[in-house]
Chains A and B, each alone.
Chain A
Amino acid sequence: NAGVTQTPKFRVLKTGQSMTLLCAQDMNHEYMYWYRQDPGMGLRLIHYSVGEGTTAKGEVPDGYNVSRLKKQNFLLGLESAAPSQTSVYFCASSPGGTGYDEQFFGPGTRLTVL
């Protein structure tokens, strides 16, 4: 099993450009999450999904959109990138629903917005 994979690994954007980050998991997990990690800070939740076709806002959702059309995929979109969105983005998944789930993380996408 590949676990959680993220595409791409690195990306450089200019201000105002758009892009989509793809997260895929092969563990049949219900819940999926997008986080950003900035220097000196822990992970902050952007958006999450508790099942196919559902999405919800996390702690820092502004400037991002998400979609979960298939259970195994969770897409994070930046419609008009800003330098403040320079960060490392992590996707995670968990079985969901037990209240005692660990999360499984992807390797991250390093995004730079110039």
Chain B
Amino acid sequence: SQQGEEDPQALSIQEGENATMNCSYKTSINNLQWYRQNSGRGLVHLILIRSNEREKHSGRLRVTLDTSKKSSSLLITASRAADTASYFCATERWSQGGKLIFGQGTELSVKP
């Protein structure tokens, strides 16, 4: 079963705009991760946020985590055409022993 549900399923924006993707999950976690997948490629890790963290930054990426609402958001600022990809959240729980449960993903299209 899918732990994470992502919203929206698809997002189309213009270059330079910000993109926000949301992820909700069902059970308690010890970390949440975001991955990017370019068309026809494998997933690439973007950022990991621990359950005791509320916000994390990496370059143009900002991730927030609200454990009370069981939700996370990924913000990409000043988007570029090269950001066009699918973005997945994945959750990990201690009881899962290193396994990640992935959401269905958000397909982002950034138009030049």
Give the distance in Å from the alpha carbon of A104 to the alpha carbon of B104 in the complex.
Answer: 19
**Closest residue to B9 on the A side, CB-wise?**
A40
Is the CB of B60 closer than 8 A to any CB of chain A?
A: no
For A90, list chain B residues within 8 Å (CB): 42-43
- Is A107 touching B104 in the complex (CB atoms < 8 A)? no
Given A50-B98, A96-B98, A100-B50, A41 and B41 touching (CB < 8 A)? no
- Contact between B43 and A100, CB atoms less than 8 A apart: no
Cβ < 8 Å to B, chain A residues 56-74: 58-59
- Contact status A43-B97, CB under 8 Å: no
Determine the chain A residues whose CB is within 8 A of the CB of B42 once the complex forms.
4, 90, 92, 105-108
Contact of A105 among B44, B97, B99, B104 (CB under 8 A): B44
Number of interface residues of A (CB under 8 A): 29
By beta carbon, the residue of chain A nearest B42 is A105
Interface code B95-111, partner A: CB below 8 Å = 1, 0 otherwise?
00111111111000000
Give B residues with C-beta under 8 Å from A.
Answer: 1-2, 4, 30-31, 33, 35, 40-45, 48, 50, 88, 92, 94, 97-105
Apart from A35-B102, A107-B41: 18 A-B pairs, beta carbons within 8 A? A31-B98, A42-B4, A42-B88, A43-B88, A43-B102, A44-B102, A50-B98, A99-B92, A99-B94, A101-B98, A102-B33, A102-B45, A103-B43, A103-B45, A103-B100, A104-B45, A106-B42, A108-B42
